[in-house]
């Protein structure tokens, strides 16, 4: 009978420490609580066999799920949770944008590489120096290119073989 007392004490202490961890996060108290719960399961397996040990393990898994759900609801509203959880968001209506609108207008435009593209580098397109990437290939410095795709700030170029002769003379 004394053995069940030790198992219950370890279980109650473990759950209590996990509940304290909800309000005083840091990990040490939670780790101590988890250790107490694991110890209670191990002792139950050793003293009462697989059936009782499995039952205690199932109870502790359910308890852990309930404690985690409580933590997910309570932590963001706790004093430390309010400091750690972002409450606001950046909206496009407020002027926040993930890419400049003029980047999308570059599709189809032509330019010349000013660095070797391996596959990333720089190119001058419409008089602006822009970070570009190829589809995976290598392009030498001074190669005429055409923008084939823009995705946010990512500008994908391909060698432009159909550039008029006058433009090719300018790169030499």
Q: Which backbone phi and psi does 96 adopt, to 5 degrees? A: -85, 125
- Over residues 49-88, the pLDDT tens digits come to 899 889 988 988 898 888 788 878 887 887 777 877 777 7
Q: Which of 37, 82, 97 is nearest to 61 (CA)?
A: 37
| Residue 137 included in any domain | yes
- Which carries the bigger pLDDT value, residue 103 or residue 167? 103
Number of domains in the chain: 2
In this structure, the answer to whether residues 125 and 160 fall within a common structural domain is yes
Residue 92 is assigned to a structural domain of this protein? no
| Claim to verify: residue 111 and residue 56 sit in the same structural domain | no
172 falls in which pLDDT band (50, 70, 90)? very low
Question: What pLDDT score was predicted for residue 72?
Answer: 83
Residues 6+ apart with CB under 8 A from 96: 90
Tokens of 153: 């700030």
- How many Cα atoms are found within 13 Å in the side-chain-facing hemisphere of 54? 3
Mean residue pLDDT of the chain comes to: 84
Residue 138 CB-density burial (10 A; 0-12 exposed, 13-18 middle, 19+ buried): exposed
In a domain, 89, yes or no: no
79 and 123 belong to one structural domain: no
Q: Are residues 51 and 125 in the same domain?
A: no
The pLDDT of residue 170 is 44
pLDDT at 166 (0 to 100): 45
pLDDT, tens digit (0-9, with 9 covering 90-100), for 132-158: 999 888 999 999 999 999 988 899 999
Residue 114 lies in a domain: yes
Q: Of the residues 24, 50, 84, which one is the last residue of a structural domain?
A: 84
pLDDT score, position 136 = 83
Are 67 and 130 in the same domain?
no
Quickly list H helices, 1-78: 2-23, 28-48, 50-74
What is the rounded CA–CA span in Å between residue 81 and residue 22? 10
18, 50, 84 - which closes a domain:
84
Please name the helix (run of DSSP H) or strand (run of DSSP E) that holds residue 101, with its range, or none: helix 101-104
SS3 142: coil
Structural domain boundaries, residue 109: 101-169
Answer yes or no: is 64 within a domain.
Answer: yes
Q: Do 23 and 64 fall within a single domain?
A: yes
Residue 90 lies in a domain: no
Asked if 105 and 65 sit in the same domain, the reply is: no
Sign of the torsion formed by the C-alpha atoms of 40, 45, 51 and 57: positive
- Which pLDDT score, from 0 to 100, does residue 144 have? 94
As beta bridge partners, residue 127 has: none
Helix (H, G, I), strand (E, B) or coil at 121: strand
Residue 19 — very low, low, confident or very high, per pLDDT cuts 50/70/90? confident
- Domain identity same for 50 and 106: no
Q: Where is the domain boundary, 84, 117, 139?
A: 84
In a domain, 95, yes or no: no
Q: Quick one: 19 and 74 in the same domain? A: yes
Please state the rounded mean pLDDT for residues 106-134.
93
Decide if pLDDT at 167 tops 70: no
Kindly state the helix (H) or strand (E) to which residue 90 belongs, with its residue range.
Answer: none
């Amino acid at each position: 009978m004394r053995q069940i007392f030790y198992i219950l004490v370890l279980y109650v202490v473990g759950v209590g420490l996990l509940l304290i961890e909800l309000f005083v996060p840091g990990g040490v108290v939670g780790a101590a609580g988890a250790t107490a719960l694991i110890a209670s399961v191990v002792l139950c397996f050793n003293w009462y066999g697989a059936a009782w040990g499995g039952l205690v393990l199932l109870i502790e898994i359910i308890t852990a799920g309930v404690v985690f759900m409580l933590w997910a609801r309570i932590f963001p509203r706790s004093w430390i949770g309010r400091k750690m959880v972002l409450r606001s968001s950046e909206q496009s209506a407020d002027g926040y944008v993930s890419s400049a609108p003029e980047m999308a207008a570059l599709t189809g435009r032509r330019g010349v590489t000013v660095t070797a593209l391996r596959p990333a580098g720089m190119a001058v397109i419409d008089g602006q120096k822009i970070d570009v990437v190829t589809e995976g290939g290598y392009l030498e410095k001074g190669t005429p290119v055409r923008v084939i795709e823009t995705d946010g700030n990512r500008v994908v170029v391909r060698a432009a073989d159909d550039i008029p002769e006058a433009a090719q003379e300018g790169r030499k």
